[in-house]
Amino acid sequence: MQPVVEVSGLRFRYDDGTAALQGVDFHLFPGETVALFGANGSGKTTFVLHLNGVLTGEGRVVVCGMPVTKENLTEIRRRVGIVFQEADEQLFMPTVLDDVSFGPLNLGIEPAAAVERAKSALGDVGMLHALDKAPYHLSAGEKRRVALAGVLAMNPEILILDEPTTSLDPPGRRDLARLLGRLPQAKIIVTHDAWLARRLAVRSVFFEGGRIMGDGATDELLKRFDWECDAAEAMPARLD
């Protein structure tokens, strides 16, 4: 089986000289869900931004059989849906419905069908009640839900979510896990949420200093890199 994402020797340096990626090799197979974890600043967001050409570094990045180059960008962005870490970067239309319909309309889908797709995606994330609201008036968790709907409405082949459970309430977190579990697409989920990684991803990769330092079974990696808060350790000391 051919991977849907193949990355080798990827290096990237930001303008201020930060070497954010220092030789990353990665693959993702059709239908597979992989969790990406690692410390703040280890390069996870920088990495996923290379998969739809928001950033371009040195090395090889091939998505759905196409190298990520300027010529392929339109096609690649149709197939790779990224829900960004900052939901505000994704929401820009006057109403929630406009925002979520924007992607399908842009794909050339006729308006009535685009609105249907948008409504269905908003239903999936529990935001149908907010169709006419201004996105910038939504709460943080609501913004994340709408940003996810915007990507789902495009029906991408590969779904990338950068910290999808941030700001979600516990039922929202559970609903998101159920929803993602039902979707057939290949998925990359960047997350500090060990519960979510365990629930959705059989395989995980661990980033450290712009490199992948571990690639294997989620359970095994969470243990190896000591990546969970033990409930007893997390309890504050009693004052009495």
Could you list the residues that contact Mg ion (CB under 5 A)? Answer: 45, 85
Which of 130, 168 has the CB closer to ligand ATP? 168
- Residue among 4, 28, 32, 43 that touches ligand ATP (CB under 6 A): 43
Q: Which does 2 bind (CB under 5 to 8 A by kind): Mg ion, ligand ATP, none?
A: none
DSSP structure class, residue 89: G
Which of 26, 207 has the CB closer to ligand ATP? 207
Q: Which residue has the tokens 């690649």?
A: 76
Q: Is 44 in the site for ligand ATP (CB under 6 A)?
A: yes
Q: Is 57 in the site for ligand ATP (CB under 6 A)?
A: no
CB of 45 to Mg ion, least distance (A): 3
Six-digit token string for 85: 């870490």
Six-digit token string for 52: 């739809």
What's 93-144 look like in SS3?
Answer: CCCHHHHHHHHHHHCCCCHHHHHHHHHHHHHHCCCHHHCCCCHHHCCHHHHH
Cβ atoms < 10 Å from Cβ of 231: 7
Separation of alpha carbons 88 and 166, rounded Å = 13
Which of 38, 150 has the CB closer to ligand ATP? 38
Chain centroid to CA 74: 19
Separation of alpha carbons 125 and 153, rounded Å = 11
Q: Is 41 in the site for ligand ATP (CB under 6 A)?
A: yes
CB of 139 to ligand ATP, least distance (A): 21
Q: Is 46 in the site for ligand ATP (CB under 6 A)?
A: yes
Q: Which does 16 bind (CB under 5 to 8 A by kind): Mg ion, ligand ATP, none?
A: ligand ATP
Separation of alpha carbons 129 and 122, rounded Å = 9
CB of 116 to Mg ion, least distance (A): 33
Are the C-beta atoms of 60 and 6 separated by less than 8 Å? yes
CB of 203 to ligand ATP, least distance (A): 18
Which of 85, 204 has the CB closer to ligand ATP? 85
Q: What is the binding site for ligand ATP (CB under 6 A)?
A: 14, 16, 18, 20, 38, 40-46, 85, 207
